[in-house]
A and B are shown apart, each in its own frame.
Chain A
Amino acid sequence: MIRKTLLLATALLALSSCRKTEDAGKTTVGFLLKSKGNQYFVTCEKGARAAAAELDIDLRVDGPISADPAKQNEIVENWITDGLDVIVAACENKDSISTALRKAQAAGIKVVTYDADAQEDARSFFANQATAKGIGEKLIDTAAEQMGGEGEFAIITGTLTSANLNLWIEAIKARQAEKYPNMKLVDVRPCDDQKDKAQQEATNLLSAHPNLKAIVAVCSPAVPGAAEAVKQAGKTGAVKVVGLGLPSENRAYIKEGVTQAIILWNPEDLGYLAVQAGVALAKGDLSKGAQTFGAGKLGELKVEGDSIILGEPVVFTKGNIDDFDF
């Protein structure tokens, strides 16, 4: 028994001496996801791989299987051990991941965040998918196009205290006052980020405002919620639904013509941008104080402070929704 074990051990040790070696010259980038099962991040990864192929780098993709605050830190710590050149991270837990990312920076690894930022001193740049102004203006422009630039509309939001949603609503109001004077915002209702509550609120809005021409949903559960309400009230097409949401959650309503359009940034482009930025940072092509960043096929992008802005959100309609599977 013991002799057999020893033989096996020797054989395996011999095997270990011939394992594959890494390309020494290539830049190695770790691409950290919030969670692996999330289609949104799978799409980000697609973009990251495209960038890696273009730049001829070694890309390692990893992330917790389900949201786990400790797992992301462990992955980063393992990458520090491996001596990676760059870490590109979407942060599940802003404060805890920053502990690990600071350690990585101390070890000489360049850090870029995307999708959800870490603390400012734990990374060099943040690949920012959208600004509040960009989202708000795109939403109201899309709604105005559907309404012909006039009539009553209402907003369904997440909660009335949500900071980022309120910024978007401010941007919507400012743009409407400036560009669409014949449109009128009649109400802003919260749905507590719940689809069924959004449906209830939308039903109430439909009966309270018979002249309503559009519902703008600024949080993602509210888009299918509002669509369901409009459909059940038999007002498909008469009351337009636009909002910010995932194509997968809204595909059916868009195809039925209940929801006219949703907007969202393209996660594939976001992953692509983040890897491009990380590699440029490692090569010294991107440094603090830059005003613009040339992100490969995405062209020249604006840099605000240490945020690289991805650009305008994409509008998803009946025509293009089948091109996206997240």
Chain B
Amino acid sequence: MIRGFSIRNLFARHEALLALVILLEVILFQALGRNFLTGGNVSNIFRHSVEIGLLALVMTPVILSGGIDLSVGSMMGLCAVVFGMLVKSSGLDPLSAACIAVCVGGLGGALNAGLIQRFKMPPLIVTLGTFSLFRGLAEALTKGSESYSGFSNGFLALGNSEIAGVPAQVWILAAAGFAVWFLVHRTTFGRSLRAIGYAPEGARYAGLPVGRTLGAAYVLAGAAAGLAAVILVARLGEARANAGTGYELLAITAVVLGGVSIFGGSGNVAGVALGWLALAILNNGLTRISDYEIMGEKISGVARELSGMLTGLLLLAALAVSAGTKTLALRRAAKQTAANTAPSP
């Protein structure tokens, strides 16, 4: 009882930490950057990170179950190419083509899940394989150089227009965020995921449908990668085999920064959303700082070069602080228990 309470407390603290990070980022970039807190730029922050946000959201159930999916970025490349081909070569309408792209993503996810369960292979290895497989397939389909463009304005609006002052694709992300939150925190599916993440064998003995639950998590991840690909194509106006390169690692970074244990079992969607937001603001904010001065020396160009380094530092620092407070809390709890159980004089 006491332990459960302190762990909940801990999560609250991790999210508070992230909120603090976000606040500091906003203040810092507003102070040093150009046009940071303007309507246009805030739109850009969200618009440019929707794809990674979608991937991070669906990566959460996968990681909660103790797995990982390295193939989602490559899956985006494959789905983008499939979508482009269907619209430009086969003359399909964008909506049907988008549905097929999402299905292709789901199928890819099913392939991951099937391999993981049928052959009892670790998710890391399986998705490392499909990471190359999906991207390779996309490159083979386009011979590496072909790309598709010239989409209708109606379709491009998905990536470039605003609805009620908010970029169109952000509404999709918000809906997906709510759906994943509900799935993870309000359904037996979500509970099963955590149980599997804590103890896969225990979950099996408890009679949970381990196979079905894991399968659903990977299919969801693949399908969301398909959706992210369609949104990316709508934003760029071009479908190419290299779409989404490296996005899987950014999504995993957001999830882990959000406080989800990489070993599975614990974490929540709100934390992931905050982790994603912290990264999105960092990446945008650094591009707002241009022609800056460090100790009297004028540096031309923008600070984007620092983005990789700062992302890494942020992740490591957040995890270190989180781990530090966890150790502290456990020690305090142990002391408390010792005091409580000490024989009275």
Residues of chain A whose beta carbon lies under 8 Å from any beta carbon of chain B: 5, 8-9, 12-13, 15-16, 19, 22, 36, 60-62, 65, 68-70, 73-75, 77-78, 80-82, 93, 95-96, 98-99, 103
**A93 and B301 form a contact (CB under 8 A):** no
Chain B interface, number of residues (Cβ within 8 angstroms): 40
Q: How far is the CA of A80 from the CA of B48 in the complex (A)?
A: 14
Within 8 A of A (CB), among B230-249: 232, 235-238, 240, 242-243, 245
**B23 and A9 form a contact (CB under 8 A):** yes
Nearest CB in chain B: distance from A23 CB, A: 12
CB neighbours of A8 from chain B (8 A):
24
CB neighbours of B236 from chain A (8 A):
69-70, 73, 93, 96, 99
Q: How far is the CA of A196 from the CA of B325 in the complex (A)?
A: 58
**B304 and A65 form a contact (CB under 8 A):** yes
Count contacts between A and B, CB distance < 8 Å.
87
**B149 and A96 form a contact (CB under 8 A):** yes
**B44 and A81 form a contact (CB under 8 A):** yes
A81-B35 contact in complex given A70-B232, A75-B287, C-beta closer than 8 Å: yes
Which residue of the partner chain A has the closest CB to B36? A16
Q: How far is the CA of A70 from the CA of B40 in the complex (A)?
A: 18
Q: Rank and list the top 6 A-B pairs by shortest CB-CB distance, nearest first.
A: A95-B149, A99-B237, A96-B238, A16-B31, A81-B40, A96-B236
Instruction: Verify if B150 is at the interface (C-beta below 8 Å from A).
Output: yes
**B290 and A62 form a contact (CB under 8 A):** yes
In the complex, per-residue mask of B206-232: 1 if CB is within 8 Å of any chain A CB, else 0:
000000000000000000000000001
Q: How far is the CA of A62 from the CA of B243 in the complex (A)?
A: 21
Q: How far is the CA of A62 from the CA of B242 in the complex (A)?
A: 22
**B149 and A62 form a contact (CB under 8 A):** no
**A12 and B48 form a contact (CB under 8 A):** no
**B28 and A12 form a contact (CB under 8 A):** yes
26 residue pairs A–B, Cβ–Cβ below 8 Å? A5-B20, A9-B27, A12-B24, A12-B27, A12-B31, A13-B27, A19-B32, A62-B290, A65-B304, A69-B236, A69-B240, A69-B242, A70-B48, A70-B235, A74-B44, A74-B287, A77-B44, A77-B47, A78-B44, A80-B40, A95-B147, A95-B149, A95-B150, A96-B236, A96-B237, A99-B237
Tell which of B28, B41, B284, B302 has the most Cβ of chain A within 10 Å: B302
CB neighbours of A61 from chain B (8 A):
300-301
A82-B35 contact in complex given A62-B301, A95-B238, A103-B160, C-beta closer than 8 Å: yes
Q: B31 is contacted by which of A15, A78, A98 (Cβ under 8 Å)?
A: A15
CB neighbours of B23 from chain A (8 A):
5, 9
Q: B27 is contacted by which of A16, A77, A81, A82 (Cβ under 8 Å)?
A: A16
**A19 and B149 form a contact (CB under 8 A):** no
Which residue of the partner chain B has the closest CB to A58? B291
Which residue of the partner chain B has the closest CB to A72? B236
**A99 and B160 form a contact (CB under 8 A):** yes
Which residue of the partner chain B has the closest CB to A93? B238
Tell which of B35, B150, B238, B287 has the most Cβ of chain A within 10 Å: B238
**B237 and A98 form a contact (CB under 8 A):** yes
Q: A60 is contacted by which of B150, B156, B290 (Cβ under 8 Å)?
A: B290
Nearest CB in chain B: distance from A15 CB, A: 5
In the complex, per-residue mask of B291-312: 1 if CB is within 8 Å of any chain A CB, else 0:
1000000001110110000000
Which residue of the partner chain B has the closest CB to A68? B245
Instruction: Verify if B30 is at the interface (C-beta below 8 Å from A).
Output: yes
Q: How far is the CA of A5 from the CA of B284 in the complex (A)?
A: 23
